[in-house]
Structure 1
Amino acid sequence: MTILNERASYASDPGASLGRLFAEAPSATRTAFARDRDRIIHSTPFRRLKGKTQVFIAHEGDHYRTRLTHSLEVAQIARSLAAALSLDQDLAEVIALAHDLGHPPFGHAGEDRLKGLMEAWNGFDHNVQTFRIVTRLEHRYPAFEGLNLSWETLEGVIKHNGPISHRMDEPAWRAVREYQQVWDLRPETFASMEAQVAAVADDIAYNNHDVDDGLQAGLFGLEELAGVPLVGPILKGVQADWPDVGERMTGIETVRRMIGVMIGDILAETTRRLAEGGIETPEDVRVAGRAMVQFSDGMMQDLARLRAFLFERMYRHDRINVMRDRAARTVDDLFASYMAELDLMPKEWRARAQIGGDERRARAVCDYIAGMTDLFAFEEHRRLYGLVDEAQL
């Protein structure tokens, strides 16, 4: 059980949790939020993250981030931030670990294709897919569907980026809207401080580690980063302190320092916002009208410039585009094949697809594909279409 020396008055208290949808006896050794964390770690979708794309397709190299390593890095940063702010570390950690469970294979390329393919059947959204996984799709307990997570964890999973009331009428958010009829997640409010910590930890992790992966892949060099705000001044300082360590170590040290700078900025800005808003309780956090855990305006501007650089030099690089095109064709072909012939799917998924009309069929096919790893999706494609020269894909 995690024990904090001093819990902030606005921190979430596992002892005051709103509980679980299906009542369970409390754990003798873990808080409610620690128990949620363990349920995520032991789930099948969490294990599959090891084979899902972050930016590079998962088998492109052993050293690039996958969804699993990214989620672990987000969780580490979230836990550190939570400790510094005297929040509940377990709650911040479980939301961080769960936040990408709903991503399909091939990263944003896979999500974009599933969105298009499911447009006639209420769409697809990876955040909603994460919510569906933890509330319905993952079967590990005889008494209920999903993982029966605590209210605070569910709230953080679906609301870590802010209120969701403006999205509740979107077709892709129907599952959340239906769940709302069973258990009120207060879509109009912000989530807990811990959920907000998980959200900014995600920003810290992917911005810094995409820089690291891009350097390692040779998509850009240190000299090109020198003119990018935030990175450039830090890089200059590293080169002054360690002029002889080589480019690889210079890049690693630059990223390490960037993480520290971003964390320091968040702690200062969050402290300022808490004081300015007179925040004293978890309820104050939820109704504050803006996020309490956030970067400063100056840091947000620098991050926008960094993201623009990464978008131009990495995310739309020819090497990445080739992978995106191959991924899109793979998802398109798999979806068409399964929709035409349900017998091509395993018995469990075939049974789900046969209950109901075309929408239920399409949703079952979508869920099956969304759960695949990159490599399994390619293997399924080869099984259905035969061995194909990858250069033609």
Structure 2
Amino acid sequence: MRIDQRALGFGSGERAVFAADPWTTRGRLFPEPSSLTRSEFQRDRDRIVHTTAFRRLKHKTQVFISPDGDHYRTRLTHTVEVAQIARALARALKLDEDLAEGVALVHDFGHTPFGHTGEDALDEMLKPYGGFDHNAQSLRIVTKLERRYADFDGLNLTWESLEGLVKHNGPLVDANGQGVRGPVPLPIVDYCKLNDLEIGSFASLEAQVAAISDDIAYNTHDIDDGLRSGYLTFEMLEEVPFLAGLMAEVRAKYPNLDGERFANEIMRRQITRMVEDVIAVTQHNLSVVNPQSAADVRGADITIATFSEGMAETDKQIKKLLFGHIYRHPEIMRVRAGATQIVCDLFKRYMQEPKEMQGHYWVDHIAGLSEGQLARHVGDYLAGMTDSYALKAHQRLFDHTPDLR
């Protein structure tokens, strides 16, 4: 497929008819006066950036726990890279850039310390009480746990931002109300009783481009970090024909390029090809679906912003490469085992001695909680920890803490 450049947006002019419109938002759970200088989606994005949860991402793992070096991605730098790609896609497709960026910036708020390792451990601990899901935890953070405003808990984001957060990966239930990817997490079910996010439909196109931007960002930058760590080599990248082709291009044009610049040139091309693929496919899908409003996007029976079949296959091959050489590397698995022990030890200790939690809010709200409510309270506390805070908490409470270096 070819991109129709005449149909691209470059940050000026009107939004497309299928874009989310901040001036006709479905509003906020708690009504607020509008801003004289910012759209409602701008306000959402700004509130997200100023949260404690956003700042904590700086010290939360992306892939490498306690890396030996300052140049590896953290959850924060990953989030910023996702937001940059999401905004570029939104601009090209004439969407609301602020909504796309806001969904990208908030999508990882619910991640635990130690990345997916911490999430798996906390999910295991919370299984008797409904389990743990980082997407549902993000919703809890922005609707309950952030305590910044005098009139309400959370951030009081617009319906569209909350919908994008919850449904950016697609509908959560099918036409029969059954979970598409397993049972719908209880925090999402409970919140929808207050503010129905219509979890059986697709999200806005802005949320869809945020979701595909996440794939583009981590597929590219996990390769970059893998090369920096030494777990990946250029020879290993040859396993993926798409990457082999990019390397051949760079070698032909720059035969004497040093390793670092060579890697950067590959990454640049990878992002560009993936972004252009998404734009072309999305334009094609839009021509087929022909949505005349954001509601038509939600009511479509397909994900509109997605990869072509060829790029989707490349995406699978890259993920297989990353799992085989990085995510399941023996050294990474050793560190993951230690991180799992830390999270499980802390959960059990706080359940036995909840007053060991630090901070007035966490201790003052213990009284009267049932076992299940206490477990969720402890889960909220643990999920909010950074890697370094979790390590220090474990060192304070236990005689031996696993070495994550």
**Same fold per TM (> 0.5)?**
yes
Residue 394 (structure 2) aligned to one of 381, 386, 393: 381
Partner amino acid for 2:394? H
Aligned to 1:81: 89
Report the equivalent of 2:106.
98
Q: Is 1:28 equivalent to 2:57 in the alignment?
A: no
Q: Does 2:273 align with 1:280?
A: no
Q: Bigger CA drift: 163-172 or 14-23?
A: 163-172
User: Size of the alignment, in residue pairs?
Assistant: 391
Asked whether 1:183 is paired with 2:195, we answer: yes
Deviation at 1:167?
A: 3.2
Partner of 2:149: 141
Q: How many angstroms apart in 2 are the aligned matches of 1:143 and 1:97?
A: 24
1:50 to 55, 58, 63: 58
Partner of 1:339: 351
Is the 2:22–2:41 contact (alpha carbons within 8 Å) kept by the matching residues of 1? yes
Question: Of residues 76, 97, 119 in structure 1, which corresponds to 2:127?
Answer: 119
C-alpha separation between the residues in 2 aligned to 1:374 and 1:220?
24
Of the three residues 194, 198, 202, the one matched with 2:210 is 198
Q: Contact 2:394 / 2:401 at 8 angstroms: preserved in 1?
A: no
**Per-residue deviation, residues 286-318 of structure 1 (Å, max 9, x unmatched):** 111111101001110111011101100010011
TM-score, normalised by the number of residues in structure 1: 0.96
Would you say the 8 A contact 1:155–1:191 is kept in 2? yes
**Structure 1 runs, 4 residues or longer, greater than 6 Å off:** 168-172
* CA positional deviation for 1:223: 1.5
Distance 1:58 1:18, change over 3 A: farther
Picking from 357, 360, 374, the partner of 1:361 is 374
Deviations 1:178-203 (A, max 9, x none): 22111111111100010001000000
Closer/same/farther in 2, CA of residues 144 and 170 from structure 1, 3 Å limit: farther
CA distance in 2, matches of 1:318, 1:275: 47
Amino acid at match of 2:329: H
Partner of 1:279: helix, strand, or coil? coil
**Cα shift readout 1:318-361 (whole Å, capped 9, x = no counterpart):** 12111101100100111111111112112321223333211111
1: CA distance, partners of 2:362 / 2:56 = 17
TM-score between the two structures when normalised by the length of structure 2: 0.93
Aligned residue in 1 for 2:241: 229
Query: What residue in structure 2 maps to residue 150 of structure 1?
Result: 158
Q: 2:326 aligns with which of 314, 317, 324?
A: 314
Q: Deviations along 1:197-231, whole A, 9 cap, x unmatched?
A: 10000000000000000000000211221231211
Residue type of the partner of 1:286?
R
Residue type at the aligned position of 2:41: F
- Report % sequence identity: 47
Q: CA deviation at 1:159?
A: 0.4
* Unaligned ranges ≥5, structure 1: none
**Aligned residue identity for 2:116:** H
Residue aligning to 2:403: 390
Matched, 1:257 2:265: no
Do the aligned residues in 2 keep the contact of 1:190 with 1:287 (CA within 8 Å)?
Answer: yes
Which of the numbers 363, 379, 391 marks the counterpart of 1:350? 363
Cα RMSD, aligned residues only: 1.7
Q: Which runs of 5+ in 2 are unaligned?
A: 1-9
Residues 55-64 or 236-245, more deviating: 55-64
